[in-house]
A and B are shown apart, each in its own frame.
Chain A
Amino acid sequence: MHELHDQIWTSLPNLFSTMTAVRNPYSISPVLTTSGPFSDEEFAPSPDVITALADMSILVIGAGGLGCEILKNLALSGFKKIHVIDMDTIDISNLNRQFLFRPSDVGKPKSEVAAEFINRRVAGVHVTPHFGKIQDFDNDFYMQFTLVVCGLDSIEARRWINATLVGLVGDSPETLKPLIDGGTEGFKGQSRVILPTITSCYECSLDMLTPQTTFPMCTIANTPRLPEHCIEWASVLEWPKHFDRKADNDDVEDVTWIFEQARARAEQFGIEGVTYQLTQGVIKNIIPAIASTNAIIAASSCNEAFKVATTCVPFLNNYMMYSGNNSVYTYTFQHQKRPDCPVCGVQVLRLAVPKSTTLENLIERLKENPATKVKNPSLRTASKSLYMASPKELEEMTRGNLVKLVGELVGEEEVTVTDEALPFSLRLVVDVE
């Protein structure tokens, strides 16, 4: 057995080196150059589809557990212009599943190391890395891609990219960027296809998310029973008593302080199981990642990316949940668009107004507009309260703006209108003539 094992192991480097040659498209050409009973009626099988796939710019968000799998899958299925964004650097704990990284890469940006690995390994594919936050890139940046695949671990980032892609949708077809979102949590996962403004978006399904595990404040304060209670006590209640700043969850000294406080409390209450690792897990809300679940979800997401990009067979409509924590169960369903979704359910109204229009005039016009039917609207831009009809204190603070000129107040920003008569809100684009 041992001999065999050694043999395989020593032959591995050879095996890999023979695989570095340029991949020919034979593996994908049968599905792209012939049609079948399930092909979409708009599918035109041809070698041109392979070329189109190679010319298409695709964006991968996240180069972690899912991201490594996604990059590998896309690179091996005909996509050649791939961009990847990630804000993290490689930690030693990533190495067990994030297979594009090696011990010598610890501390380097994930996006750069991942891109370099794929570029070296799969000839003909070019991955462009971006080391930073998705929020640091503007609309023009996102406009250059045809398709976006996400392997994120944060709800906030998902909501942001979802709202951004919904906001990009304009008149021309190319402004619609399908978003394929994969996510895992232990043995569970999901992948979904979001066609911004056409299908249900990420925000539409926000209430489906499992709430974060939180413990009642009084349990933490008085009757801890679990090691987690002690850790929350140390980080939520004790930390602010001793420090004026927030704890840095990535700082060893800060985490150690919380860990030691938690351990002392656990001892006092006869609770076992407070470790440094658990402390870090609880305060950073780390969910154990399972490599195979990432592989399953990334595979599904990449197959959908391939189908959406080529139209060869129908793609997922629109939500696939995978549950591997109690045997295996998967279910695919069409998540419905929420008419009152704050992101995609919002109507857009363009109003052209003369230069002399005051905010009060604009509000009057909104009230008269049969398309909006607003009664007592509140208006804001991303950074400014123009007029808030409620609460009373904000109304008083913003009342002075009513006599001001819209052109001077708003600039080129978009205005958000909320009103009791609106299901959610209204995006208002004001063109001052």
Chain B
Amino acid sequence: MLKIWSMKEKQAAEGGSAKKKVTAAQLRVQKDLSELSLPSTMKTHFPSAEDIMNFELTVRPDEGFYQGGEFRFSFYVNPNFPHEPPKVKCLQKVYHPNIDLEGNVCLNILREDWKPVLSLNAVMIGLQYLFLEPNASDPLNKDAAHQMTANREEFKRNVKHSMAGGSVAGERFDCVLIK
């Protein structure tokens, strides 16, 4: 160990040991949160200020099919972040080609295209983009996706109707209109 110890002596270091350690994932989330720069259409909500690994995001699209609605997502960041992406779910039942009836979201950077260099900010921008530009070629709700390509006007009407709490094809959706 002689070699190591002399290397150590050459390196002037200063340190203190802590009682409870901050995990690398927590550090990264704190960094991501303090660098968050969200447009006025998005807001975060923290059930507890102490727990930054669990929070909600509200998206209010200001244009497109979903304008006038308010969409809530839960974010759960696990200890493997940023090796693994955050787990995101839509908390309301919405009629959307890329969101299924259980709230699962099809967004490439949340699964197959996730990279540790991506930040929480990137995920949030990605979610908002889904409402501005729904993607019918990657459907989770096949009926909605089919309608969007087959009959855009009908799709538009379905979205409006579902956002007000109405039913589309026998399925009742949550009212997401801004009160």
Residues of A within 8 A of B (CB): 40, 42-44, 52, 56, 139, 146-147, 155-156, 159-160, 163-164, 167-171, 173-176, 178, 195, 197-198, 203, 206-207, 209, 211-212, 214-218, 221-222, 236-237, 240-241, 308-309, 311, 315, 342-343, 348, 350, 377-378, 380-385, 388-394, 397-398, 411-414, 416, 418-420, 424-425, 427, 429
Q: How far is the CB of B138 from chain A (nearest CB, A)?
A: 4
Contact of A56 among B1, B18, B106 (CB under 8 A): B1
Point out the residues of chain A lying under 8 angstroms from B106, CB to CB: 216-218, 221
Point out the residues of chain B lying under 8 angstroms from A425, CB to CB: 27, 30-31
Contact of B17 among A43, A168, A218 (CB under 8 A): A168
User: Are B4 and A390 in contact (CB-based, < 8 A)?
Assistant: no
Give 10 new A-B contacts, CB below 8 A, not counting A390-B36, A419-B34.
A211-B114, A211-B115, A212-B84, A381-B20, A388-B33, A390-B34, A393-B43, A393-B44, A393-B45, A418-B31
Q: List 30 A-B contacts (CB under 8 A).
A: A42-B2, A163-B23, A164-B21, A167-B15, A170-B13, A171-B13, A173-B9, A176-B4, A198-B11, A207-B115, A211-B83, A211-B114, A215-B112, A216-B106, A216-B112, A218-B106, A218-B140, A221-B104, A222-B142, A308-B1, A309-B1, A343-B27, A389-B34, A391-B44, A393-B44, A393-B45, A414-B19, A416-B27, A419-B34, A420-B34
- Residue B179 at the A interface, CB < 8 A? no
Point out the residues of chain A lying under 8 angstroms from B21, CB to CB: 163-164, 167, 382, 414
User: Are A378 and B43 in contact (CB-based, < 8 A)?
Assistant: no
- Residue B80 at the A interface, CB < 8 A? yes
Point out the residues of chain B lying under 8 angstroms from A139, CB to CB: 17
User: Are A197 and B11 in contact (CB-based, < 8 A)?
Assistant: yes
User: Are B18 and A195 in contact (CB-based, < 8 A)?
Assistant: no
User: Are B46 and A393 in contact (CB-based, < 8 A)?
Assistant: yes
Known A382-B26, A424-B31: A171·B83 in contact at CB below 8 Å: no
Cα A309 to Cα B106 with chains together (Å): 51
Point out the residues of chain A lying under 8 angstroms from B6, CB to CB: 42, 173
User: Are A237 and B100 in contact (CB-based, < 8 A)?
Assistant: yes
Known A169-B15, A380-B30, A390-B34: A214·B46 in contact at CB below 8 Å: no
User: Are B23 and A160 in contact (CB-based, < 8 A)?
Assistant: yes
Cα A10 to Cα B80 with chains together (Å): 50
Known A42-B3, A164-B21, A398-B49: A342·B28 in contact at CB below 8 Å: yes
Cα A128 to Cα B176 with chains together (Å): 60
Complex interface residues of chain B between 105 and 158 (CB less than 8 A to chain A): 105-106, 108, 110-112, 114-117, 138-140, 142
Point out the residues of chain A lying under 8 angstroms from B2, CB to CB: 42-44, 311
Point out the residues of chain A lying under 8 angstroms from B108, CB to CB: 216
Known A218-B106, A311-B3: A414·B31 in contact at CB below 8 Å: no
- Residue B50 at the A interface, CB < 8 A? yes
Point out the residues of chain B lying under 8 angstroms from A174, CB to CB: 5
User: Are A391 and B36 in contact (CB-based, < 8 A)?
Assistant: yes
- Residue B52 at the A interface, CB < 8 A? yes
User: Are A348 and B102 in contact (CB-based, < 8 A)?
Assistant: no
- Residue B16 at the A interface, CB < 8 A? yes
Cα A425 to Cα B32 with chains together (Å): 11
Q: How far is the CB of A53 from chain B (nearest CB, A)?
A: 10
User: Are A163 and B24 in contact (CB-based, < 8 A)?
Assistant: yes
User: Are A241 and B102 in contact (CB-based, < 8 A)?
Assistant: yes
Point out the residues of chain A lying under 8 angstroms from B50, CB to CB: 383-385
Point out the residues of chain A lying under 8 angstroms from B18, CB to CB: 167, 382, 413-414, 427, 429
Known A168-B17, A311-B1: A388·B49 in contact at CB below 8 Å: yes
Point out the residues of chain B lying under 8 angstroms from A419, CB to CB: 34
Cα A315 to Cα B138 with chains together (Å): 51
- Residue B64 at the A interface, CB < 8 A? no
Q: How far is the CB of B140 from chain A (nearest CB, A)?
A: 5
Cα A164 to Cα B38 with chains together (Å): 34
Point out the residues of chain B lying under 8 angstroms from A211, CB to CB: 83, 114-115
Complex interface residues of chain B between 53 and 100 (CB less than 8 A to chain A): 79-80, 82-84, 98, 100
Point out the residues of chain A lying under 8 angstroms from B19, CB to CB: 411-414
Cα A40 to Cα B6 with chains together (Å): 12
The closest CB in chain A to the CB of B5 belongs to A173
Q: How far is the CB of B128 from chain A (nearest CB, A)?
A: 15
Point out the residues of chain A lying under 8 angstroms from B17, CB to CB: 139, 167-168, 170
The closest CB in chain A to the CB of B99 belongs to A217
Most A CB contacts (10 A, CB to CB) among B13, B38, B102, B114 go to B13
The closest CB in chain A to the CB of B20 belongs to A382
Contact of A206 among B11, B13, B30, B83 (CB under 8 A): B83
Q: How far is the CB of B21 from chain A (nearest CB, A)?
A: 6
Q: How far is the CB of B107 from chain A (nearest CB, A)?
A: 8
User: Are A217 and B5 in contact (CB-based, < 8 A)?
Assistant: no
Cα A411 to Cα B18 with chains together (Å): 11
Cα A413 to Cα B19 with chains together (Å): 6
Q: How far is the CB of B67 from chain A (nearest CB, A)?
A: 23
Known A43-B2, A383-B50, A384-B50: A216·B111 in contact at CB below 8 Å: yes
